[in-house]
Each structure stands twice: as structure tokens, then as C-alpha cells.
Structure 1
Amino acid sequence: MKPLSTVAAPGVAERAEALADAACELHDAASTPGSWSAAAVEDAVESMETTALALAAAHPDAAAAMLAIGQQLAQLRERLGLPPGEHPAGPDEDEHQEQPVAPTPLRRPRPRRGLGPGYQGLRIPPGRTAAGR
């Protein structure tokens, strides 16, 4: 088994940490079934699907595990009456099962919905102004 790298690509570690923090905050805010709306559930499922696609590229073993998670998320969408996701849950039955799973790129960026409760403003390096001078 090939070990994972000890150094992440630029921005990956920071974004993964922010994702973990956001997941904890979501758990704290939505601890009861009445906390959720259909749109909020759909957004949460979509974020999990996108995260699974990103993790599939981390390691061949991760790709296999993320395939199973993607299939479970597709079933969850169906059970909850949510529209199908943008990403396939797994290979078609016609495809050979031994092919490696490659992440598919996002088709469209998600629209920004506001700054949110964690917004802390822009960080401008010392000695620079907002205009960049």
C-alpha cells in the first residue's frame, strides 16, 4: 500500500481544515430533524458528494471507499425525494468494474450565498492598502 504524502498541495490542508470546522459547526447548529429544510439537506448532500470526489483522488483505496459513499448518497437523495446529483454515483452496469475511479470536475461553481457567520473580513498584508499600493 502506497502511503499518503506528508505535504499537501497549496491550499489543500487549509481548505480541509476549514471543511472540518464547518462540518462541526453544522452539526452543532442542526442537531434535530426540525432544524433542516429540503434545500439545506440538498446542499449538505452535495457538499458530501463533492468532498467524496476530492478524496477519491487522494489514494487508490480512497477511490474505492468514496465510490461506495457516492452510491449511498445517491440512495439517500432518492429516499428523501431530492433531485439527482450532478456527479455519477458509480460506474454504469455496462462498464468494467476494474477501471480506476477518476474524480469528475464540477460542472458549475456554486453561487455564493452571502458571507455567513464565520466571515472575518479581508486580510491585507502589512504595508499594503486595499487598493494594492
Structure 2
Amino acid sequence: MKSLSTVAAPGVAERAEALADAACELHDAVSTPASWSAAAVEDAVESMETTALALAAAHPDAAAAMLAIGQELAQLRERLGLPPGEAAAAGPDDDEHQEQPVVPPTPIRPRQRRGLGPGYQGVRIPPGRTATGR
């Protein structure tokens, strides 16, 4: 069985933590069914669909679980009368969302220092002045 990496790609851990914090804040804000609007429910479902798609790339077992969750969310959309989602989980015949190999991002190389250019002749200090300006 393929195990999960101990190091995430740049920004992934921070974004996942922010997502978890936002989910907790949403849970705390919602006290009754009347707290929700149709637009708020649609936004929440869409965020779950998008998160499921992102999480499916983490591991082959996650892909199977997230497919099931995506299908459940699509059914929830239908039962609540919400429009179909753009990020809904794909069925087995959908080539767009077939399992893709996870490719690590290209590391960002630090910028090379360029210097002052070929015509640089130094700083000229007028006679009678020192380098410190006094």
C-alpha cells in the first residue's frame, strides 16, 4: 500500500489548515436550518466537491472514497433543488477526471543576483568629502 508523504507541496498544509479552520467557524455559526440560505448551501456543497477533488489526488484509496462523496453531494444537490455543480465527482466514463499521476511542483529557484552591469564605474565622491558623507 502506498503511504502518504510526510512533507506537503508548498502552501498545501497551510491551505488545508485554513480550510479546516473555516469549516469549524462555519459549524459554529450555523445553529438552525434557518441559518442557511440556498446560496449559502450551494457554496458549502461546492466547496466540499472541490475539496473532494483535491483530496482524491492524495492517495489511490482517497480517490475511491472521494468519488463516493462526490456522488453523494451530487444527490444532495438534486434533493435540495440546487443546480448541478461544476466540480461534481466524475463517473468512471469521464476522461477529464481520470486518476492522474501526482507530479510534484517545480521548485522555485532563487533569483540570481545580477550586479550593477557592465558599465558600472563606481561611486564618485567629490573632493573634500569622505565616504561617510561628513
TM range (shorter): 0.5 to 0.7
Matched-pair identity in %:
92
Displacement of 1:31: 2.3
Query: What are the superposed Cα offsets for residues 48-87 of structure 1, whole Å, 9 maximum, x if unpaired?
Result: 000000000000000000000000000000000000000x
Q: Is the 8 A contact 1:63 1:101 kept in 2?
A: no
Larger Cα-atom Rg? 2
What is the number of residues matched between the two proteins? 130
TM-score by length of 2: 0.67
Displacement of 1:119: 46
Task: Check 1:41–1:2 CA distance in 2 against 1; reply closer, same or farther (3 A cut).
Answer: same
Task: Check 1:16–1:36 CA distance in 2 against 1; reply closer, same or farther (3 A cut).
Answer: same
Gap regions ≥5 residues in structure 1: none
Query: What are the superposed Cα offsets for residues 96-121 of structure 1, whole Å, 9 maximum, x if unpaired?
Result: 99999999999x99999999999999
The residue number in structure 2 matching 1:22 is 22
Displacement of 1:28: 0.4
Displacement of 1:32: 1.0
- Tell me the distance in 2 between the aligned counterparts of 1:113 and 1:37: 55
Displacement of 1:30: 1.0
- Tell me the distance in 2 between the aligned counterparts of 1:6 and 1:54: 17
Gap regions ≥5 residues in structure 2: none
Greater Cα shift, 120-129 or 63-72:
120-129
- Tell me the distance in 2 between the aligned counterparts of 1:13 and 1:100: 20
Q: Is the 8 A contact 1:70 1:90 kept in 2?
A: no
Task: Check 1:113–1:59 CA distance in 2 against 1; reply closer, same or farther (3 A cut).
Answer: farther
Q: Is the 8 A contact 1:53 1:66 kept in 2?
A: yes
Task: Check 1:69–1:127 CA distance in 2 against 1; reply closer, same or farther (3 A cut).
Answer: farther
Task: Check 1:7–1:110 CA distance in 2 against 1; reply closer, same or farther (3 A cut).
Answer: closer
Greater Cα shift, 112-121 or 49-58:
112-121
TM-score by length of 1: 0.68
The residue number in structure 2 matching 1:7 is 7
